[in-house]
Amino acid sequence: MIVPCIDLMDGKVVQLIQGREKALEGASPDEMIEKFAAFPETQVIDRGAAMGRGSNDALVRHIASRAVTRVGGGVRSAERFRALLDQGARKVIVGTSAFTADGINTAFLSQLDPERLVVAVDSKGGRIVIKGWQEATRFTAEEVLRSLEPYCSGFLCTYVDKEGMMQGTDLDWFRRLRAATSLEITAAGGITTLDDIKALLAMAIRCAVGMAIYTGRLDLADLAPLAAG
């Protein structure tokens, strides 16, 4: 499956480089929903909430009312998790709050519905990063996937080193992740070409695609036949 991405900041659709530098602004949320109508699911990340810079709740609620979505960004309580489901999200993505200094935050994750939870296991420099990708932990993604399985339905794994840079992704890293878990994996970060996508789909890994779509490097018409693959 290919999952197009809508990232939100300051009430606008944006694309960021490595989660920090704004590279571009997209069309309105309604226009993006229309563009992505051929795809089974859209990923919506509230980047402002992820970085502690306010939230875009109204936009999230609006998008979730019009499209099948998985929503994340700043989900740091069970109440927030349930609120996003109530707003219409099919699944909710949790990253920072899934971890503590010592490892997995089982006390928090056990409060959530595993069937509706996707854990973000994002990596930069070989380590899982949290708090809007600004803080590194001492764990690798490969180390934690198996232990997280009882708490979620799948993983969003972003190769942050290449996120938004249009330089390709690390297929070897994703192969290692695929070998580490039997649950659904969605890959993100640096996915730039149809060859990248076909290689990931061949591993039974879903592809979350953002910058390559927004810049026109990937054509939605070319992606549509692979959308549900």
Residues serving a catalytic function are 7, 122
Q: How far is CA 6 from CA 26, 77, 152, 200, in A?
A: 9, 22, 22, 21
Report CA 122 to chain centroid distance, whole Å. 9
Q: How many CB atoms lie within 10 A of CB 11?
A: 12
Helix residue ranges per DSSP H, the chain: 29-35, 47-50, 57-66, 78-86, 106-109, 141-148, 171-180, 194-202, 211-214, 220-223
